[in-house]
Chains A and B, each alone.
Chain A
Amino acid sequence: MEERLYDLIFILRPDTPESDIDKVISTLEHAAAEKGGKIDSVNKWGRKRMAYRVQKLREGYFVYMVIRSSHGEVVKELERRLKVSDPVIKYLTVRLDEELKRQDKLKRHRERRAARRPRKTVVPAAAMPGAEQTAAPTA
């Protein structure tokens, strides 16, 4: 099965000590490895103001990671762990690979168009005398 790519963002309570944050991340890494997935990158965004209050909190500690796996079981397990983990107040997983595929397709399409463009600019120039001819009888 082809490989899937996911974005996973979760928000921790802002008063979580640094050691607990690392603990949460490492447990997620272990859980992912157990299920045959892999965490590509972990990016701590740090304390940020949230757009609305969550559990009466205005701020949260954001962590962003990219996950690679061949099936959805990994995401299921990670989300379950995030749900039962106390310091986590919010999380979101987004599947990326299909969007990346679309992005690639559009990019290739544009490149092909760009490669063809020199010929295309000649066509309007050739059409110009034709347009003049049709305009002449009316005038």
Chain B
Amino acid sequence: MAEENAQQQSYGGGGGQRSSGPGGGPGGRPGGPAKRGKRNFVRKKKVCRFCVDKADFIDYKKAEILAPFIQERGKILPRRMTGTCARHQRWLTVAIKRAQNIALLPFAAEL
């Protein structure tokens, strides 16, 4: 066990070829090495959709634009899920709430 751990650490120093490590067998070693693997996991960078379109405002009347930003049960998706920038998320929540008020979007999905 001790030898294995030492090997893992040396790999960790290497950095680059780490991606195959955690997939190989996370069940074998508890604790430390798994954390290491997580750190090296590269997440795809999400881009704010409204910034791409250079949106100066978000229209609450267009429910089809707002729909991708709510969950199936009607909750507003957080920024970390959609990649929306802070400013546009602020506008987006206002737009979604307005749309909810005029029954263009649901407050909560009906069962």
Output the least CB separation between B107 and chain A (Å): 6
Dominant SS among interface residues on chain B: loop
CB distance from A74 to the nearest CB of B (A): 19
Is B34 in contact with chain A by the CB < 8 A criterion? Answer: no
B61 at the interface (CB under 8 A from A): yes
Does B103 contact A11, Cβ atoms closer than 8 Å?
A: yes
CA distance A52 to B74 in the complex (A): 11
Q: Which residues between 58 and 111 of chain B lie within 8 Å of chain A, taking CB atoms?
A: 60-61, 63, 98, 100-108, 110
Q: How large is the interface on B (under 10, 10 to 19, 20 to 34, 35 or more residues)?
A: 10 to 19
In the complex, the number of residue pairs spanning A and B with C-beta atoms less than 8 Å apart equals: 39
The reply to whether A52 and B98 contact each other, CB–CB distance below 8 Å, is: no
Measured CA separation A106–B106 after assembly (Å): 31
Report chain B residues within 8 Å CB of A107: 56
Task: Name the A residues within 8 Å of B108 (CB-CB).
Answer: 52
Interface contact A52-B56, CB-CB below 8 Å:
no
Tell me if B41 is interfacial: C-beta within 8 Å of chain A.
no
A103 touches B56 (CB 8 A): yes
Q: How many chain-A residues does the 8 Å CB contact rule pick out?
A: 21
Question: How far does the alpha carbon of A11 sit from the alpha carbon of B99 in the complex, in Å?
Answer: 13
User: Contact at B56–A92, with CB atoms within 8 Å?
Assistant: no
Q: Are A52 and B106 closer than 8 Å at their CB atoms?
A: yes
Contacts of A119 in B (CB 8 A): none
| Residue A94 lies at the interface, judged by CB distance under 8 Å to chain B | yes
Identity of the chain B residue whose Cβ is nearest the Cβ of A105 in the assembled complex: B56
Query: CB distance B98 to A92 under 8 Å?
Result: yes
Interface centre among B57, B102, B103, B106, by most chain A C-beta atoms within 10 angstroms, is B103
Seen from chain A, the residues whose Cβ lies within 8 Å of a Cβ on chain B are 7, 9, 11, 50-54, 60, 64, 90-92, 94, 99-100, 102-103, 106-107, 110
